[in-house]
Chains A and B, each alone.
Chain A
Amino acid sequence: MRALGWLLAAWLLAAAASAGYPVVQPGVTVVLPQDSGSHPDFRTEWWYVTGWLSTAAGQPLGFQVTFFRTRPTLARDNPSAFASGQLLIAHAALSDPRRGRLWHDQRIARVGFGLAEAAVGRTDLHLRDWTLAAGDGAFTAKVAAEDFELALTLEPRQPPLLNGRGGYSQKGPAAASASYYYSLPGLAVHGQVVRGGVAEAVTGSAWLDHEWSSAALDAASVGWDWVGLNLDDGGALMAFRIRDAQGAVRWAGGSWRRADGQVQSLAPAAVVFTPGRRWRSPRTGIAYPVEWQLEAAGMSLALTPLFDDQESDSRLSSGAIYWEGAVEARRAGQRVGRGYLELTGYGERLQLR
């Protein structure tokens, strides 16, 4: 469940019906590595990398690199090379506690001409010189934004985690409200971060989500909370809940992989998010619950952010405002893991055009 993707999907596709697109079917299993590439027939798809980094001086940083693909139209008869019918959007952010807010940048382009492409069959995405690609045993992510740069190598140390039932992840009461969804937790990261022209070597751990669908959210769903945590013991926990206009929980779910590799899919009732302290954005006036108590898989975790102001305002390009940031998970005061938290739908009702 990833914010930018869903918000853009909502924004771009508000008017379009999903008829004619492939439907996500229960019983179909995600097969890797074939499914790690693009599924161009589906309406929406994203590859979402989030994680914690540490500079040589020991300063913690959060980062996020996303590629989002959408197929806004079914029309395919136009012979123009500009008529690929596919859009690629890339978003990158760096959570820097010393700066006190995000560095972030984004790009959007129609697929084609080799300038913006999402390969089928393997993870290989690029939008001009921004890339996320699977190479020899590791992913590389490269982003050169206006005022910061990321060049990271991400090595899988754990097997893929297929969410839901074999990758079929339900998002609402109806079986058709679903996506194909797998995660790659526990990626070991090393590389370089450039902030304001100053380059620094970094290491850390990250989490990659890859999800595709044609109609995951139903009309009554307006906001959601999501968290993905790399647990210090080698385990991984993903949990989400979807809220309706009144703030009531409409659906919930998650996956827990223990340190010993045993995977447990979490039913809606097995996930309880309880909001704690709120932080109000001075820019947008929106109050986000930035601290949480999460009950999932029998664990009781306190989530605290790396710092409060990790709000992403991309109204200029996509119309989306949400909170997405690095968080720590504590259990009885002891840190047990680190990951990313995503909060959407806390502002006034989203202005979807």
Chain B
Amino acid sequence: MRPAASITTALAVFAAQLRDRPLRLVVSVAAIAVGIALAAAVHLINASALAEFGRATRELSGTADLAVRGTKAGFEESLYVRLASRPGVRVASPVLLREAALVAGGTLPIEGVDPLLAAALRPELYGELAGLYVALLAPDALVLSASAARDLKLVRGDWLSLRVGGLERRLQIVAVLPAEATARRMGLMDISSAQWLTGSVGLLSRIDLRLAPGLDAARYAAELQLPAGVDAMTPALEQARAGNLTRAYRVNLDMLALVALLTGAFLVYATQALAVMRRRRQLALLRALGVRRGELRLAVLVEGAAVGAVGGVLGTALGWLIARLVLSLQGGDLGAGLLQTATTRVATPPLALALFIALGIVVAVAGAWLPARRAAEVAPARALKAGDEEAPAAVRDRLVLASVLLTLGAGCAFVPPLYGLPLGGYASIACLLAGAVLLVPAFVAATLAHLPTPRSPLLALLLARLRNSIAQSAVSLAAIVVSFSLMVAMAIMVHSFRDSFERWLGAVLPADIYLRVSPAADTFDLSTAAAATLAAVPGVARIELRRTTQLSLAPAQPPVMLIARALPRSGDSLPLVGYPVATDPTLPVAFVSEALRDLYGVQPGGVLELPIAGRAVRFGVAGLWRDYARSTGSVVVDLASWERLTGERRYTEASVWLAPRAAAESVRTAIEARLQGGDALQVIAAGALKQRALAAFDRAFAITYALEAVAVGIGLLGVVLAFAVQALARRAEFGMLRHIGLRRGQVLRMLAGEGAFLAAVGVGYGLLVGLLLSVVLVYVVNRQSFHWTLDYIVPVGQLALVALVLVATAALTAGISGRVATSGAVVRAVREDW
């Protein structure tokens, strides 16, 4: 037989097999498709949200070379004068960003610009405004973006009422921007009107600069001598900052999606391995007919690649559809609230889509790799006889490889984060998992060896059968071990996180009622006068005021949160990590969050410089505190120090302790009525606040739960498939059993028992592996991604329940597939194969 002809023959035989067993093909394709779909959907949603965020950033600064930005409160407009008159600056466009509370409820972002200057940087958006220059000079003139107009159901000429510092102001819509100009929901005003209306006269939020041609923007930025808390960055850097903010979260989701895909790969491996095992004799026959080893291997790989290609294409298409659906339903935010954009457009990067299809092929080929080798290794003469076993040498090799992988995995867990990502942690998980899977046959064999031979002949038969088909069982268990162990690890991490979070909430929310000036509104002040009013509300025993504000410590990093509150030098009442340390007594103290320590290298006992009131103020770092609310870093300082440094007596939050026997809800309502902050002021009972925080937490992890469930589902599918394939393959065996007198029910019970036993072994082993992986997740991946520590807690009940469901499902499917396989006539079944 010529080579070309022989491989054609081999492929023809495989094709015949496929026609014969379409279910196997469908399941393999489906497994790959689901895995790819998940990975693609998660990636596309994140990519779309990020692209939208980038668009919004570009829209804000247009073609500016540099964006000079302060924190939310803004900076003095004198900086604008200084920058605008600097040589090298061609255009300096001042911008004021504020949120206004709407009388009808909700808020509207307001952007105050000088239309003439802004138009020079962003003609697509502000070109419209230049023509409205005079109309916009009217102090009550407002331009709405298309989405804001749609949302508020307003057209040109309509009026919109805002609440500003307790007063209502009516603005007239002088124009609605075309939808192409911006997708953001916002209102535009002349900067003079915006300053006046929002009580921000003299303040700016940002200045966009266009520089003379040939100037290096980054170098120019360094020479600007900006006041503390104000930084200048290029639009590219600004976008990178948003990327940094969400990268850890996005990579975690991507990894989780890849887990589903990995499980899919194991399913391909399992089905292919079983098929090869089942077809040993056909393969041997082919070899005897002159088909070479390489050709046989190629044939198995081609089959795998075909499955991967079909699954990849279907999966990518499905993933795109899922992404579109998710984006249209809930926007580009996958729950973490980090990228709040109004995107409905799915980014469709052709390269990424092609990569996902390729990934499907790679995964399927990888899954088919070992089975292909095994197919090629078939020795014709031996395989044509019955009762072939795996060579001891291969087993030893496998043990060596497994121990190498496990050692490597343990080592990777100690690698520090790379590019701010826990890459070592992920590598560790991959190595540990691969090593653990290689040990599955050894584990099954050891378990079986330790079981005593039971009295019941049926059980004895079952055990004997299992002991003699360890290789087959191990293969079908691989998928369940992979998916279940990852599920266990994720469940432990999320549970530990949630539990720690809940306890942390208790620690940071000790009071009964909380007041917060909405971060979205700049139009209400919790002033000293308002605080006095608050303290005088009947039923209020004690109040504590806070001031939170954003500080920018490094241009490339997202801003950190500064919390000024009554704080003893010991840090009492803060959820501290470790103990407070002594600091220079001449410096005010600060407690930094774990994230701040990791991101800026600030250690307890050291000194931290904070840009406050336009100058750098030194603080002694007295300790670390745990802050689950801000993964970009936060610092707590004493309110008295803050007031002394800034001279400000304005607060953003207040905690209220109730007098004995005062009813929280009635006091809460009384506070709302007395302070009249409208939508700008949130007054909320501690219980409701905790509930709300936990709900937000669960929402953030909803996608995680969904991805986990899918991974377990795919694992279960693998088990079902393995049993179905085995049951069909063992038709002759069942016929034999019936021949020697077993009733059909007994055969089925034996099969169900086999299924339950194997599943139990797989689940038990998966649990062990999962515990190991969870340690890496909690102490390495989580720690490096979000910079905070968790208390390790195992959700025993939840895991037990899932384990039980898995075992029961395995038993049930084994029984069902047995029923199908034993339905034929006994004699025919025996004849068929013997």
A contact residues vs B (CB 8 Å cutoff): 12-13, 15-16, 72-73, 75, 77-83, 85, 87, 108-110, 113-115, 128, 317, 319, 353
Which of chain B's residues have a CB closer than 8 A to the CB of A113?
77, 80-81, 84
- Decide: B116 and A80 in contact? CB cutoff 8 A: no
Tell me which of B84, B117, B134, B138 contacts A12 (CB under 8 A). B134
Query: Which 10 interchain pairs have the tightest Cβ spacing?
Result: A83-B192, A82-B192, A80-B192, A80-B195, A353-B131, A72-B134, A73-B137, A113-B81, A82-B191, A78-B196
- Decide: A82 and B116 in contact? CB cutoff 8 A: no
Tell me which of A13, A75, A85, A108 contacts B116 (CB under 8 A). A108
Least Cβ–Cβ distance between B85 and chain A, in angstroms: 6
Given contacts A73-B137, A75-B138, A108-B116, contact A115 B192 (CB under 8 A): no
- Decide: B134 and A80 in contact? CB cutoff 8 A: no
Can you give 8 contacting A-B residue pairs, CB < 8 Å? A12-B134, A72-B134, A78-B192, A80-B193, A81-B192, A82-B192, A87-B116, A114-B85
Which of chain A's residues have a CB closer than 8 A to the CB of B193?
78, 80, 83
Chain B 181-195 per-residue mask, 1 if CB under 8 angstroms from chain A, else 0: 000000000111101
Tell me which of B117, B139, B192 contacts A109 (CB under 8 A). B117
Which of chain B's residues have a CB closer than 8 A to the CB of A12?
133-134
Q: How far is the CA of A79 from the CA of B192 in the complex (A)?
A: 8
- Decide: A115 and B114 in contact? CB cutoff 8 A: no
- Decide: A15 and B84 in contact? CB cutoff 8 A: no
Given contacts A109-B116, A114-B85, contact A79 B135 (CB under 8 A): no
Given contacts A15-B134, A72-B134, contact A115 B139 (CB under 8 A): no
Least Cβ–Cβ distance between A15 and chain B, in angstroms: 7
Which of chain A's residues have a CB closer than 8 A to the CB of B84?
113, 115, 128
Which of chain A's residues have a CB closer than 8 A to the CB of B94?
82
Which of chain A's residues have a CB closer than 8 A to the CB of B640?
none
CB nearest neighbor in A for B116: A108
- Whether B827 is near chain A, meaning CB under 8 Å from some CB there, is no
Least Cβ–Cβ distance between A127 and chain B, in angstroms: 11
Q: How far is the CA of A83 from the CA of B137 in the complex (A)?
A: 8
Q: How far is the CA of A16 from the CA of B133 in the complex (A)?
A: 12
CB nearest neighbor in B for A81: B77
CB nearest neighbor in A for B191: A82
Q: How far is the CA of A79 from the CA of B117 in the complex (A)?
A: 21
Given contacts A109-B117, A113-B80, contact A15 B192 (CB under 8 A): no
Which of chain B's residues have a CB closer than 8 A to the CB of A72?
133-134, 137
Q: How far is the CA of A16 from the CA of B131 in the complex (A)?
A: 13
- Decide: B77 and A73 in contact? CB cutoff 8 A: no
Interface residues of B in 108-146 (CB under 8 A from A): 114, 116-117, 130-131, 133-135, 137-139
CB nearest neighbor in B for A317: B130
Given contacts A72-B137, A80-B201, A82-B114, contact A115 B196 (CB under 8 A): no
- Decide: A85 and B201 in contact? CB cutoff 8 A: no
With A15-B135, A80-B192, A110-B116 given, name 7 new contacts (CB 8 A): A75-B138, A78-B192, A82-B94, A82-B190, A83-B196, A113-B84, A319-B131
A16, A77, A81, A353, most chain B CB atoms within 10 A: A81
- Decide: B81 and A115 in contact? CB cutoff 8 A: yes
Q: How far is the CA of A109 from the CA of B195 in the complex (A)?
A: 18
- Decide: B135 and A75 in contact? CB cutoff 8 A: no
Which of chain A's residues have a CB closer than 8 A to the CB of B133?
12, 72, 87
- Decide: A75 and B191 in contact? CB cutoff 8 A: no
Q: How far is the CA of A87 from the CA of B202 in the complex (A)?
A: 20
Least Cβ–Cβ distance between A14 and chain B, in angstroms: 8
Least Cβ–Cβ distance between A227 and chain B, in angstroms: 31
- Decide: A128 and B114 in contact? CB cutoff 8 A: no
B84, B116, B192, most chain A CB atoms within 10 A: B192
Given contacts A82-B114, A83-B192, contact A114 B137 (CB under 8 A): no
Tell me which of B81, B85, B117, B137 contacts A75 (CB under 8 A). B137
What secondary structure prevails in chain B residues at the interface with A? helix
- Decide: B77 and A13 in contact? CB cutoff 8 A: no
CB nearest neighbor in B for A72: B134
Least Cβ–Cβ distance between A13 and chain B, in angstroms: 7
Q: How far is the CA of A85 from the CA of B94 in the complex (A)?
A: 17
Q: How far is the CA of A108 from the CA of B116 in the complex (A)?
A: 7
Which of chain A's residues have a CB closer than 8 A to the CB of B139?
75, 77-78, 83
Q: How far is the CA of A77 from the CA of B201 in the complex (A)?
A: 13
Q: How far is the CA of A115 from the CA of B81 in the complex (A)?
A: 7
Which of chain A's residues have a CB closer than 8 A to the CB of B117?
109
A15, A16, A80, A83, most chain B CB atoms within 10 A: A80
Q: How far is the CA of A82 from the CA of B77 in the complex (A)?
A: 10
- Decide: A81 and B202 in contact? CB cutoff 8 A: yes
Q: How far is the CA of A81 from the CA of B135 in the complex (A)?
A: 18
- Decide: A115 and B85 in contact? CB cutoff 8 A: yes
Q: How far is the CA of A78 from the CA of B140 in the complex (A)?
A: 11
Q: How far is the CA of A115 from the CA of B138 in the complex (A)?
A: 22
Chain B 630-645 per-residue mask, 1 if CB under 8 angstroms from chain A, else 0: 0000000000000000
Interface residues of B in 488-522 (CB under 8 A from A): none
- Decide: A114 and B134 in contact? CB cutoff 8 A: no
Interface residues of B in 608-666 (CB under 8 A from A): none
Least Cβ–Cβ distance between A160 and chain B, in angstroms: 33
CB nearest neighbor in B for A11: B131
Chain B 518-534 per-residue mask, 1 if CB under 8 angstroms from chain A, else 0: 00000000000000000
Given contacts A108-B116, A113-B81, contact A73 B195 (CB under 8 A): no
Chain B 76-107 per-residue mask, 1 if CB under 8 angstroms from chain A, else 0: 01001100110000000010000000000000
Interface residues of B in 188-243 (CB under 8 A from A): 190-193, 195-196, 201-202
Q: How far is the CA of A331 from the CA of B566 in the complex (A)?
A: 90
Given contacts A80-B191, A128-B84, A128-B85, contact A85 B131 (CB under 8 A): no
Which of chain A's residues have a CB closer than 8 A to the CB of B77?
81, 113
Q: How far is the CA of A353 from the CA of B136 in the complex (A)?
A: 14
Which of chain B's residues have a CB closer than 8 A to the CB of A110?
114, 116
Least Cβ–Cβ distance between A243 and chain B, in angstroms: 26
CB nearest neighbor in A for B134: A72
Least Cβ–Cβ distance between B190 and chain A, in angstroms: 7
Q: How far is the CA of A106 from the CA of B426 in the complex (A)?
A: 58
A12, A82, A128, most chain B CB atoms within 10 A: A82
B130, B137, B138, most chain A CB atoms within 10 A: B137
Which of chain B's residues have a CB closer than 8 A to the CB of A115?
81, 84-85
Q: How far is the CA of A115 from the CA of B116 in the complex (A)?
A: 14
CB nearest neighbor in B for A108: B116
Which of chain B's residues have a CB closer than 8 A to the CB of A83?
137, 139, 192-193, 196
CB nearest neighbor in A for B85: A115
CB nearest neighbor in B for A89: B116
Which of chain B's residues have a CB closer than 8 A to the CB of A80?
191-193, 195-196, 201-202
- Decide: A79 and B116 in contact? CB cutoff 8 A: no
Given contacts A80-B191, A128-B84, contact A16 B134 (CB under 8 A): yes
Which of chain B's residues have a CB closer than 8 A to the CB of A108?
116
Which of chain B's residues have a CB closer than 8 A to the CB of A13?
134
Q: How far is the CA of A63 from the CA of B130 in the complex (A)?
A: 28
Q: How far is the CA of A114 from the CA of B84 in the complex (A)?
A: 10
Least Cβ–Cβ distance between B241 and chain A, in angstroms: 28
Which of chain B's residues have a CB closer than 8 A to the CB of A75?
137-139
Least Cβ–Cβ distance between B194 and chain A, in angstroms: 8
Q: How far is the CA of A13 from the CA of B192 in the complex (A)?
A: 19
Which of chain A's residues have a CB closer than 8 A to the CB of B137?
72-73, 75, 83, 85
Q: How far is the CA of A113 from the CA of B83 in the complex (A)?
A: 12
Least Cβ–Cβ distance between B256 and chain A, in angstroms: 50
Q: How far is the CA of A128 from the CA of B120 in the complex (A)?
A: 15
Least Cβ–Cβ distance between A113 and chain B, in angstroms: 5
Tell me which of A73, A78, A81, A109 contacts B134 (CB under 8 A). A73
Least Cβ–Cβ distance between A151 and chain B, in angstroms: 16
Which of chain A's residues have a CB closer than 8 A to the CB of B131?
319, 353
Least Cβ–Cβ distance between B309 and chain A, in angstroms: 52
Q: How far is the CA of A16 from the CA of B202 in the complex (A)?
A: 28
Least Cβ–Cβ distance between B94 and chain A, in angstroms: 8
Q: How far is the CA of A114 from the CA of B83 in the complex (A)?
A: 12
